[in-house]
Structure 1
Amino acid sequence: MSEHAVTVGEALVTLLEQAGVDTVFGIPGVHTIELYRGLAASAIRHVTPRHEQGAGFMADGYARVTGRPGVCFVITGPGLTNTLTAMAQARADSIPMLVISGVNATATLGRGRGHLHELPDQAALARSVALWSHTLTDPAELSTVLEQAFRVMTGGRPGPVHLEIPTDVMKLPAGTQSFTPPAHTRPRPSSADLAAAIDMIAHARHPAILIGGGAVGCADAVRRFAEALDAPVVSTTNARGVMAGHVLDVPASPSFGCVRDLLAEADLVLALGTELGPTDCDMYEDGGFALPETLIRVDIDAGQLSRGAPAALAIEADLGAFLEDLLGEAGTWRGTAGGGAQRAKATRDLAKASLGDTYRSHVGLIQDIWQVLPEATLVGDSTQLVYAGNMYVDAPRHASWFNSATGFGTLGYAAPAAIGAALGQPGRPVVALLGDGGFQFTLAEMGSARDCNADVAFVVWNNAGYMEIETSMTSASITPIGVTPLAPDFSAIAAAYGLPSRRVQSREELLQALKDLPRPCLIEYLDSR
């Protein structure tokens, strides 16, 4: 009997194991079964969502809490197109995601003969949202191509990448290959840029710091730098929790007038790892966000530095490396500023006071959830509770508050992303904050949660429709239409999937349900309109 030749599909699974991948999200199909040939014998866990969009969102949630790429297996054609929305959200929020898809047999590509799942140019479609897309045609290049995928996905500003493998290539012998994830050299600031930054910092008396999602991976360095500088730190949505509970923390949106005043009155602002996007800094689109001319921007993406607010000093560097170098020279600038804690407290107080009654109540409920489940990660969709929290929420640690209501702003994110987060951090509960409208985009993922026994509580804020859109229409003197889709009996659907559930109508009942119900579970909050 001849020795079995390892196929491309089998080799891919082995190489992913060598890369440290422990979970793959995907739905098998006739065009990807060869990718599954080696999966059963591997240590990689496979999670089956109910829709490929869910696979992408699960990979996103997994990546956010682990810091490692989320990986998807999807079929040719509709499998990939269904995943594109999740890839676009990952692109907007700089989340590393590896999407591996099938594509039609090599000889059929570009022929337009109507083969199953055929697209005119699948890779081109992926490139519209991916940082990089590649079609593997030579089995011997598998490890080299995978290395390139990891290098692009994690080497600079993270994001989604796409590798497609023709169905005939999946079956070919791959030969002996091995894979070691590329070791990235963190780009450090030039000596001239570092000296210029130190000079500006040393002359500042009332500095302020504005951080984005790029600060999550170096939270400790951000805290130490803020303390040494004695500067208030404004956290955008994806940075919430980096300065958790610190006297210098301002966990409030730059859309607040008082936060804008803090930044405008500073004699130096350091914008660290943030794209300064409108969904963070100008939520109400009033055009009032502005930064002083004395602005230092630090970002790993040179292209991003050329967009948005012009900086007196734009530094292309890994943020952690920049802060390490800066802290190494702290003796030349430490102690030049002061009053950071007082300025931070004054801004926090003003931001809280600026919240309307409804948002203030919502923010209080969010904080109460963490009182009941202090280790919980809260994952949100575009819904009222989440909009309120994005304006102001004091998250207990980094990556404990994230959602799709910024950046690309998709609906249907929270349920699958919460499952991915729960699988990425076993033992840490996850609360998915959902609207009754948005939840219906990915309602079936309750079944996925049951399949893998994910530690997730699905909290459905039921206000009988798209209330935020209805309010916007009314404010614009447009007769609301299309904003009251019928909601199903969520508890009945939860029961059909084997999930315990409870309907509640008060804060106290909601918090008690979180204490009582085993997870995964569903809690429906009936909000009076």
Structure 2
Amino acid sequence: MTHDHDLVLRPTEAQMRAALAPPAGRTGGDLVVETLRGLGATTAFGLPGQHALALFDAVGRSDLRLVTLRVENNAGFAADAYGRITGEAAPLLLSTGPGALTALPALAEAAAASAPVLAISSQVPAAGLGGGRRGYLHELRDQAASFRDVVKSVHTARTQSQIPSVIAEAWESALTAPHGPVWVEIPEDVLAAPTVIPQVTGVDATPHELAPRPELTALAAHWLQNAARPVIIAGGGVVRADATAKLRQLAERIDAPVVTTFGGKGAFPWNHPLSLQSWLEDRYTTDFLQDADVLLVVGSGLGELSSNYHTFLPAGRVIQIEADLGKLESNHPALGIHADARLALQALLETVGERRDPGAPARVAALLAAVRDRLAAQDLTLEQSLLTSVRAALPPRSPSFWDMTILSYWAWSAFDARHPNTMHSAQGAGGLGYAFPAALGACVAEPGTPVLAVSGDGGAMYSIAELATAVQHGLDVTWLIVDDGGYGILREYMTDSFGRATATELARPDFTALAASFGVPAVTTSPETLAEDLKKALTTPGPSLVVLPATLRMFAPTHLG
């Protein structure tokens, strides 16, 4: 009797020929590259180091595109953005010890944002594994332990025969909801030694689907259909799951207002009659959400920023759809539905009936008017005009990447992303230096599409070396640096809390002159000319820099005085 799975596992004639006559000179590094290509990877990010040389040599002999950056953490940010934009697992190739550890903050951001990054690091020779101290260069007592609490899963290939299976297992983990970064490490000698392992010609790493339990979605649908004041909070999980169309269908079927979290920007149309936009740090919005008798939270853990710094206390029933089991009901009791957002929303759409509420758009409009009135009383015309200028200059489908700077904090609440998966920031883990290298990863993912990065002068210094990367690879990136002479948001926080700021003032370079030294066109702009200068930079092929000297203020979420 022949079973179907026997037929699936039987090698083809082409695979047999490849296995019996592999190219000469292959090493363990080739097994890594062959596995990545077999999984569908076309592009990798990283930079070489001593223990990883055999891996990079194999990449150099392959058709895998390698985008090298100047700092490992920046390479991680670029891989993060590539994964967010494409939905594919982005290979990040690293060396041992310091090179690996330098990428930790980027992997933390990828974990917080559910970005699929496949980090592959070399290790000391296999004899040095196991926690001893052999005196190898870059040796750590337990390198994987440094990453285990950050990434989604950790994998080690101790022999060449393990490499294809280990990488496939990691790939599957990275792309199974919730997406996230994974860690693979391979000893130097395993990568460098000649191999007799046949050429990798067939790899299967199909991600698992995380479907909701039907009894839970049935109860959720009943609650929503019979609610008096339902509201939806849409998080980044909606965007990662490509579920924005289903979210809109559900909101319109039950006339439920929708607010998007900062990680979920673009998940719901900004100017839709049911759109509460993203004013999660404004108390009017917090009160509106608290008043809901049924609150549907999709793809968000309701963390610090999404809960207005944990001041949000829902009064009604909460339904939470979340693929990350660690975030499910972690902050508020709820009907927890452990599922991919797309599959859960589809299940709700198949069950919930129409619920009409003609007054919902008016309540939404009243809330947004109240927010606007509060801002108007705070003399924040400059900040709002800058966002208007950025929006006017940026093509609707161009991705934008925002560092941890005051203009970005404004953008979380006030920027219309226009389309899903086009606005990204470092608000997941909150590390500086994200915007520019992440924008470079997006340029690689979408060649020919202009990409915008927004940084403050403090955060810009974390990634200034990547101007060389942008030039080397000819990437169509525009970098807007808002120069206020320091860590502006920390200056404001410290002054508000302690009456003075410490260690927030910075010496910085002449950014336009520095850009010119890299051969990058640069201009110093003003609030009045920002839209024009940005538009010109975004339509100029290759990298460009726009510097805006300005000191900005954050809005107050409640009435002043």
Q: Which residue of 1 aligns with 2:354?
A: 334
* Gap regions ≥5 residues in structure 2: 1-20, 553-561
CA distance, structure 2, for counterparts of residue 516 and residue 82 of structure 1: 35
- Counterparts in 2 of 1:175-324, with a 5 A limit? 175-216=198-239, 217-244=242-269, 245-282=271-308, 285=309, 287-311=310-334, 313-324=335-346
**3-state DSSP of counterpart to 1:476:** helix
SS of aligned partner of 2:268: coil
Return closer, same or farther for 1:14/1:360 CA change in 2, 3 Å cut-off: farther
Q: Is the 8 A contact 1:269 1:292 kept in 2?
A: no
Pairing 1:347-426 to 2, within 5 Å after superposition = 347-355=367-375, 357=378, 361-374=382-395, 375-404=397-426, 406-426=427-447
Q: Distance in 1 between matches of 2:71 and 2:37?
A: 25
AA aligned opposite 2:496:
S
Report which stretch shifted further, 97-106 or 175-184: 175-184
The gaps in structure 1 that reach 5 residues or longer are none
Q: Residues 360-409 of structure 1: CA distance to partner in whole angstroms, max 9, x if unpaired?
A: 532442233232222322211111110111122221111211111x2310
Shift of 1:430: 1.2
Q: Deviations over 1:295-352 (max 9, x none)?
A: 11111122321301111x111112111111221224xx21244433223222222233
| Superposition map of 1:64-213 within 5 A | 64-109=84-129, 110-172=131-193, 173=195, 174-213=197-236
Partner SS for 1:481: coil
Aligned partner of residue 303 in structure 1, secondary structure: coil
In the alignment, the residues of structure 1 paired with residue 551 and residue 316 of structure 2 have an alpha-carbon distance, to the nearest angstrom, of 47
SS at match of 1:280: coil
Displacement of 1:5 after TM fit?
Answer: 5.3
1:408 and 1:116 map into 2 onto residues whose CA distance is: 30
What amino acid does structure 2 have at the position aligned with 1:481?
T
Note if 1:462 corresponds to 2:483.
yes
Alpha-carbon deviation of 1:190?
1.9
Equivalent residue of 2:168, what SS? helix
Residues 218 and 179 of structure 1, relative CA distance in 2, 3 Å threshold: farther
Match of 2:18 in 1: none
Contact 1:205/1:336 (8 A) holds in 2: no
Partner of 1:450: 471
Contact 1:208 1:231 in 2 (8 A): yes
Counterpart CA distance in 2 for 1:280 and 1:315 is 19
Distance in 2, matches of 1:187 and 1:102, equals 32
The 3-state SS of whatever aligns with 2:103 is helix
Give the match's secondary structure for 1:469.
helix
Tell me how far apart the structure 1 counterparts of residues 22 and 251 of structure 2 sit (CA, whole Å): 65
Whole-Å Cα distance in 1 between the matches of residues 158 and 302 of structure 2?
A: 40
Q: Distance in 1 between matches of 2:434 and 2:384?
A: 20
For 1:355 and 1:410, how far apart are their aligned partners in 2?
28
Q: For structure 1, which segment, 33-42 or 519-528, has the greater mean C-alpha deviation from structure 2 after superposition?
A: 33-42
Secondary structure of residue in 2 paired with 1:85: helix
Separation of aligned partners in 1, 2:381 and 2:224 = 36
CA drift at 1:168? 0.5
Following the alignment from structure 2 to structure 1, what is the Cα–Cα distance between the partners of residues 347 and 236? 20
Work out the CA distance in 2 between the residues paired with 1:167 and 1:177.
Answer: 20
Of the structure 1 ranges 450-459 and 109-118, higher mean CA displacement relative to structure 2 is found in 109-118
1:440 equivalenced with 2:461 (yes/no): yes
Distance 2:66 2:373 in 1: 47
Distance 1:462 1:32, change over 3 A: same
Residue 210 of structure 1, CA deviation: 0.2
Q: CA deviation at 1:150?
A: 1.5
Q: How far off its partner does 1:85 sit?
A: 0.8
SS at match of 1:60: helix
Q: Shift in Å at residue 478 of structure 1?
A: 4.2
The letter for the 1-side match of 2:423 is W
Distance 1:30 1:186 in 2: 39
| Deviations, residues 266-320 of structure 1 (Å, cap 9, x unaligned) | 22110001010102322xx4x4212233111111122321301111x11111211
- In the alignment, which residue of structure 2 is the partner of 1:325? 347
Pairs aligned (count): 521
Question: 1:525 aligns to what?
Answer: 548
Partners of 1:126 and 1:29 in 2: how far apart?
19
Letter in 1 for 2:287: D
- Between the aligned partners of 1:3 and 1:477, the Cα distance in structure 2 is 67
User: By how many angstroms is 1:528 displaced?
Assistant: 4.9
Deviation at 1:179, TM superposition (A): 4.3
- Asked whether the equivalents of residues 253 and 280 of structure 1 are also in contact (C-alpha less than 8 Å), the reply is no
Residue 181 of structure 1, CA deviation: 4.5
SS in 1 for 2:354: coil
CA apart distance, 1:235? 0.2
Q: Comparing 422-431 with 376-385, which one deviates more in the overlay? A: 422-431
Distance of aligned partners of 1:421 and 1:2 in 2 relative to their CA distance in 1, 3 Å threshold: closer
Which amino acid counterpart does residue 247 of structure 2 have in structure 1? V
Contact 1:367–1:394 under 8 Å retained in 2: no
* Amino acid of the structure 2 residue aligned with 1:450: V
> TM-score, normalising length from structure 2?
0.89
Q: Distance in 2 between matches of 1:528 and 1:100?
A: 41
2:481–2:547 contact (8 Å) kept in structure 1: yes
Partners of 2:158 and 2:186 within 8 A in 1 = yes
Contact 1:219–1:243 (8 Å) recurs in 2: yes
Question: For 1:432, what is the secondary structure of its paired residue?
Answer: strand
Distance 1:125 1:292, change over 3 A: same
**Cα 1:359/1:89, change in 2 over 3 Å:** farther
Percent of residue pairs bearing the same amino acid type: 32
Alignment RMSD:
1.9
Residues 1:477 and 2:498 aligned together: yes
Q: Measure, in 2, the Cα distance between the counterparts of 1:485 and 1:343.
A: 45
